[in-house]
């Protein structure tokens, strides 16, 4: 199906089902319940799940397949965002041209950065990409202010040309749309105590994420993907055989940068503004964490890592001492205060500490990330099932 083998087809279908049902899956608790704060099924967060999933999928094509660790992918995310916002200011608020141009411009910029950075490998390559990202951030923040808007960034204004759009009514706000369907359009579905929000922008981003995921599968299973794995395995030996690995690594770098540009364009499509903070080095480091946490070199891992980090950033970070005291109010005062004082540094503003501990545990005990953890659990249950079937049959194997 779609040129995929059975296993990959099942994985793609599973991801598609999760994307479609995410508004329901991510809202497990009734709206007015005490646990409702753990619900993640609101449009803004679901959009971030799929957009950063695209970002991580693209980064994984470079890092997971070739082993080249880039700290500069935030630059391509930012270039994609600026390209998209300028299309909305000059051409139309329709997201199609904005998304296409964000991918094109990010691809061209990544071609330049990759052509220079891939002259080196290892830590030197990583430092070069980091330097490009920081230079891009500095240019966007101060030097190129007429183009980037500097610290305040850019957003569509009423007096922008937008040559393909008609004139807006006085006082109207320019809104991103897909042939008239606004990205912010939502339908609320109430079932019992639950309230589910079906957002147009999320599903449009979800479709693009599925397309990106499908393309990543094809790359992983292609001869091109095999060449990238050979680069990661032993690039020097590959060069000794007479094969020039540079075109392959450069192609992987550009494809990865185009994925980042797509993510940047979608960020503008969902929230029509762009600023230099998207180019800062911490954003490039974040996508590294997402990929390693989920499982570098795996297909679904980066998406899981992106979802986990964004969940912690938006949900765990909202838990404060007042909420903790409400949770443990049934305990004696002394015990309640002790438990709150122990837990508080790990939540709220301290959620990064919890993320750091989880990341350390994954690197030490699960080098393959969350995907490896899931595989271990599956094998554990598989062994238990086989053992129970063996006991039920009553058959034993004689010793030799």
What are the boundaries of each domain within the chain? Answer: 6-281
Per-residue pLDDT of the chain (400 residues; tens, 9 = 90+): 678 899 999 999 999 999 999 999 999 999 888 788 899 999 999 999 999 999 999 999 999 999 999 999 999 999 999 999 999 999 999 999 999 999 999 999 999 999 999 999 999 999 999 999 999 999 999 999 999 999 999 999 888 889 988 777 777 788 999 999 999 999 999 998 899 999 999 999 999 999 999 999 999 999 999 999 999 998 888 888 888 899 999 999 999 999 999 999 999 999 999 999 999 999 999 999 999 999 999 999 999 999 999 999 999 888 888 888 888 888 888 899 999 999 989 988 889 999 999 999 998 999 999 999 999 998 888 766 666 666 655 554 443 3
Task: Determine the Cα–Cα distance for residues 84 and 105; give it in Å rounded to an integer.
Answer: 9
Query: What is the per-residue pLDDT for 348?
Result: 87
* Distance (Å) of CA 333 to CA 319, 326, 342: 20, 12, 14
Query: What is the per-residue pLDDT for 227?
Result: 94
Query: What is the per-residue pLDDT for 52?
Result: 97
Query: What is the per-residue pLDDT for 397?
Result: 45
Output the furthest CA–CA distance in the chain (Å, rounded): 90
DSSP 61-105: HHHHHH----S-HHHHHHHHHHHHHHHHHHT-SBHHHHHHHHHHH
Query: What is the per-residue pLDDT for 193?
Result: 87
Query: What is the per-residue pLDDT for 394?
Result: 56
b/e map 129-157, b = 16+ CB within 10 Å? bbbbbbebbebbbeeeeeebbbeebbbbe
Architecture (CATH level 2) of domain 6-281: Orthogonal Bundle (1.10)
């Amino acid at each position: 199906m779609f040129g995929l083998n059975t296993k990959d087809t099942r994985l793609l279908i599973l991801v598609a089902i999760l994307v479609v049902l995410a508004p329901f899956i991510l809202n497990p608790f009734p709206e007015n319940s005490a646990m409702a704060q753990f619900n993640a099924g609101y449009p803004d967060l679901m959009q971030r799940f799929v957009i950063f999933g695209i970002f991580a999928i693209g980064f994984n094509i470079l890092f997971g397949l070739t082993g080249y660790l880039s700290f500069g992918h935030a630059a391509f995310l930012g270039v994609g965002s600026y390209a998209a916002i300028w299309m909305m200011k000059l051409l139309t608020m329709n997201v199609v041209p904005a998304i296409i141009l964000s991918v094109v411009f990010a691809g061209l910029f990544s071609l330049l950065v990759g052509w220079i950075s891939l002259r080196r490998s290892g830590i030197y390559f990583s430092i070069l990409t980091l330097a490009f990202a920081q230079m891009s951030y500095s240019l966007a923040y101060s030097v190129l202010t007429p183009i980037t808007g500097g610290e305040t960034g850019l957003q569509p204004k009423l007096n922008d040309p937008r040559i393909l759009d008609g004139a807006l009514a006085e006082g109207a706000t320019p809104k991103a749309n897909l042939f008239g369907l606004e990205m912010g359009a939502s339908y609320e579905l109430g079932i019992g105590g639950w309230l589910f929000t079906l957002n147009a922008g999320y599903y449009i981003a979800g479709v693009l994420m599925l397309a990106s995921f499908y393309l990543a599968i094809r790359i992983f299973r292609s001869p091109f993907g095999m060449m990238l794995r050979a680069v990661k395995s032993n690039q020097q030996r590959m060069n000794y055989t007479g094969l020039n690995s540079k075109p392959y690594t450069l192609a992987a770098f550009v494809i990865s940068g185009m994925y980042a540009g797509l993510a940047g364009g979608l960020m503008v499509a969902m929230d029509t503004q762009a600023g230099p903070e998207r180019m800062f080095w911490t954003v490039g480091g974040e996508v590294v964490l997402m990929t390693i946490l989920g499982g570098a070199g795996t297909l679904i891992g980066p998406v899981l890592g992106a979802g986990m980090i964004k969940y912690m950033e938006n949900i765990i970070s909202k838990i404060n001492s007042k909420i903790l005291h409400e949770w443990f109010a049934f305990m004696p005062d002394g015990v309640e205060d002790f438990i709150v004082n122990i837990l508080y540094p790990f939540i709220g503003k301290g959620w990064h500490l919890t993320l750091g501990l989880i990341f350390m545990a994954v690197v030490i005990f699960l080098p393959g990330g969350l995907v490896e953890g899931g595989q271990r659990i599956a094998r554990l249950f598989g062994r238990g099932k086989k053992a129970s079937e063996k006991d039920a049959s009553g058959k034993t194997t004689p010793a030799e």
